[in-house]
Amino acid sequence: MHPLGFLNPLDNVHSFDPDKHIPDLAGKVIVVTGGNSGCGKETVLQVAKHHPQRIYLAARSEAKYDDAMKDISAAAPNANVKFLQLDLSSLASVKSAADQILSENDRLDILVNNAGIMAHPHGLTQDGYEIEFGTNHMGHALLTRLVLPLMQATASKPGSDVRIINVSSGAHQMAPGAGIVFAQLKTPMKSFVPARLYGQSKLANILHARELARRYPEILSTSIHPGRVETNLTNVMFDQNSFFGRFQKFFDYMAGALPVQQGTLTQLWAATWRRQEVKNGAYYVPVGKESLGSKKSQDSGLAKKLWEWTESEFAAKGY
């Protein structure tokens, strides 16, 4: 056990083993954003072993897809894993990706909103939103909105089990005091440190899942915290050869940063565990343990306000 492992406990409530506990996924269509690396890639790799009809690996470039497929094909050589071009910082790219999903499928069973950015330099998305909020929340919210009719249709079919998983983070507790600073979401928010902006976007992921569950109870929508995971997401914070980069690696060791295979367990659990044991709208921490999250993450009024604000933005932009 790591000396500071208590900072990142792995409480495997359900003793979840992907090889043993993911059921046969025959006939299911699955979308995983950010499927080219880290927990997204591991999610694709693990579900690919269980015979789904089709998996869409969403990534910014086909080169990233090709690189990820080396490991995925080795683990599941017969899996049907398709490339889906997706840049979550561009609503036009999100619309194009959704159009491809809708045109190629008569069902969509599982959507894993996994991709994200962290500690990005202050800036705006192509559509004018604070870069982390626009990528981590707005991009996923639009993708979800556009494929919802297909997911609803799938949910109406006998024997269906339709799910949306928003990959959030315990870092949602670092969101600004107001939770979501609506008045500044279309600015770079330079008065806030990156941790606050990341926390705001991750809080939005939780609130979005809660409101999805309230509005669409036929679809099982959850949000999860994967744990402190060894991925490239945190490597953007510092040059890994710098003093701060080396310190970060040391802290990861001392805090018990999880290898990707363990860090992916909670989203795999949420996507595939027995439906009757997964609570709609809940927020889960490793592994499959329900958590209340921060007070703001439990604020139904804030969830409703975020939903309505997001919808009004999409309407104004013609989506």
Q: Tell me the two tokens of residue 274.
A: 């027995």
Rg (CA), the chain: 18
Residue 194, C-beta contacts closer than 8 angstroms, at least 6 positions apart = 118, 119, 120, 122, 132, 237
Strands 54-59 and 29-33: parallel
**Long-range pairs of 183-189 with CB within 8 A, sequence gap ≥ 24:** 184/130, 185/129, 185/130, 185/133, 185/309, 186/124, 186/128, 186/129, 186/130, 187/124, 187/130, 188/122, 188/123, 188/124, 188/130, 188/131, 189/122, 189/130
Question: Which of 168, 169, 201, 297 is an active site residue?
Answer: 168
Active site residue 198: yes
Q: What is the phi/psi pair of residue 195, to 5°?
A: -60, -35
- CA-based nearest residue to 176, from 200, 198, 204, 194: 200
Question: Which of 202, 216, 283, 297 is an active site residue?
Answer: 202
Burial of 292 per CB tally in 10 Å (0-12, 13-18, 19+):
exposed
Question: Which of 65, 198, 216, 284 is an active site residue?
Answer: 198
Can you tell me the distance from the alpha carbon of 10 to that of 237, in angstroms, rounded to the nearest whole number?
24
Q: Which residues pair with 59 in a beta bridge?
A: 85
Active site residue 202: yes
**Any idea which residues carry the catalytic annotation?**
168, 198, 202
